[in-house]
Amino acid sequence: MAVLVYFVAAIAGAVGLPLLGDRWWPATLVLFGPRWLTALPLVVLVPIALVVERRALAPLAVTAVLVAGPIMGFELPLGQVFQEERAGQLRVITFNARSRHGHLSALRDFIDANRPDLVTLQECGWSDKELGAAFPGWEVRVNQGQCLLSKFPVQEVAARDRADVWKRGGHGAIVRYTIELPSDRGTPTRISVVNLHLETVRDAVEALLHRAWRGAAEHDENVALRRWESSLAREWVDAAPHPVIVAGDFNMPVESVIYRHSWSHLENAFSHAGLGIGATKRTRWFGTRIDHVLAGAGWSVERAWLGPDLGSDHVPLVADLRWIERQ
């Protein structure tokens, strides 16, 4: 009976999380909480099944797949993970540096080792002079707490006025760059890169943890704000004049209703070519994948992986993109 109950619960979680996460407060708590807790029954049930009823191992195996995949978000795209670097690739890194908690020297060493073409930083905290000194030869842009490092010329920078976002208590940093690429890379001559840092769910989660269902109203207000900010960002992406790449701290995992409404039309680099859970935001007990690199039409995601701890509560996300000619 316990195996059956767990199996049904896993199905409900796998189906319900993307339908109700960021819509119904209990599902939001699961969405942003330690989802590894859903795997704990396996620790008890599998040994019991081995001793008492081996036929129960089959439904437990299916349940384990449901827990690891749809619930915990484990990615296993074997066709992309082992790809080698090819001509025409563009390497992008995105990293929330948590103001000045990120170590600039560690970031420099990481960038030197991985040789990206573009780096988008959120909660940057460093001045353009500091970044220019740390990364000589790079184009550096600092706008609204968002920073860009580019190996190629930056032709235009457009940053959204956040006055209306601040009035509503939000963050909503949106910066769009036009970048000129060399003509011999097999890529478009110009691309649009959008650097995002959207509102966090933190206040809603804290209200629910401290006041349970009595915090539901604050949850709903937070969801409305985050949905609105995400829609604003989507408008800026849709208005991009060139092939687009979106990178940054979205403050939402891919299972979020808000994410699926605004961003599912773009290719998520880690979902397509990453290996593992890919948690970019770390706490003492668990992690969540809320930082993303998204590729618009014309781009193919070749590889994606996480970087090491650089002093922030986030880790860098690296993605290799390749331009595919459209007929």
Contact call for residues 290 and 258 (beta carbons, < 8 A): no
CB-CB neighbours of 133 under 10 Å: 12
User: Rounded distance, CA 291 to CA 232, Å?
Assistant: 18
Mean pLDDT of 59-80: 89
Matching residue, tokens 């004049």:
241
Residue 12, CB-side half-sphere exposure with 13 Å CA sphere: 9
Matching residue, tokens 């970031």:
107
Least trusted range by pLDDT, from 103-107, 186-190, 250-254: 186-190
Q: Is the pLDDT of residue 33 over 90?
A: yes
CB-CB neighbours of 16 under 10 Å: 17
pLDDT given for residue 172 in this prediction: 87
Q: Is the pLDDT of residue 73 over 90?
A: yes
Q: Is the pLDDT of residue 215 over 80?
A: yes
Q: How confident is the model at residue 253 (pLDDT cuts 50, 70, 90)?
A: very high
pLDDT given for residue 80 in this prediction: 59
Mean pLDDT of 74-95: 77
Mean predicted lDDT score pLDDT of the chain: 92
Residue in 249, 240, 250 with CA at minimum distance from that of residue 156: 240
Q: Is the pLDDT of residue 87 over 60?
A: no
Across 207-240, b (16+ Cβ under 10 Å) vs e yields: bbeeeeeebbebbeebbebbbbbbebbbebbeeb
pLDDT given for residue 327 in this prediction: 35
pLDDT given for residue 284 in this prediction: 85
pLDDT given for residue 136 in this prediction: 95
Q: Is the pLDDT of residue 42 over 60?
A: yes
Residue in 264, 157, 208, 274 with CA at minimum distance from that of residue 30: 208
Question: Tell me: the pLDDT tens digits for 174-199?
Answer: 999 999 999 877 778 899 999 999 99
Which class for 311: exposed (0-12), middle (13-18), buried (19 or more C-beta within 10 A)? middle
- The 3-state DSSP class for residue 71 equals helix
Least trusted range by pLDDT, from 94-98, 264-268, 283-287: 283-287
Matching residue, tokens 């670097």:
85
Mean pLDDT of 36-63: 91
36, 37, 39, 43 alpha-carbon torsion, rounded to 10°: 120
Matching residue, tokens 């619930």:
71
Residues forming beta bridges with residue 292, ordered by sequence position? 248
Which class for 89: exposed (0-12), middle (13-18), buried (19 or more C-beta within 10 A)? buried
**pTM, to two decimals:** 0.93
pLDDT above 70: percentage of residues in the chain: 95
Q: Is the pLDDT of residue 135 over 50?
A: yes
- DSSP code string of 118-150: EEEEES----HHHHHHHSTTSEEEEETTEEEEE
**β-pairing verdict for 89-96 and 317-323:** antiparallel
Q: How does DSSP classify residue 69?
A: I
pLDDT given for residue 144 in this prediction: 87
Q: Is the pLDDT of residue 318 over 90?
A: yes
User: Rounded distance, CA 54 to CA 45, Å?
Assistant: 11
Question: Tell me: the pLDDT tens digits for 230-245?
Answer: 999 999 999 999 999 9
User: Rounded distance, CA 95 to CA 31, Å?
Assistant: 22
Contact call for residues 110 and 316 (beta carbons, < 8 A): yes
Q: Is the pLDDT of residue 82 over 70?
A: no
- Pick the more confident residue, 223 or 2: 223
Question: Tell me: the pLDDT tens digits for 289-316?
Answer: 999 999 999 999 999 999 999 999 999 9
Q: Is the pLDDT of residue 169 over 70?
A: yes
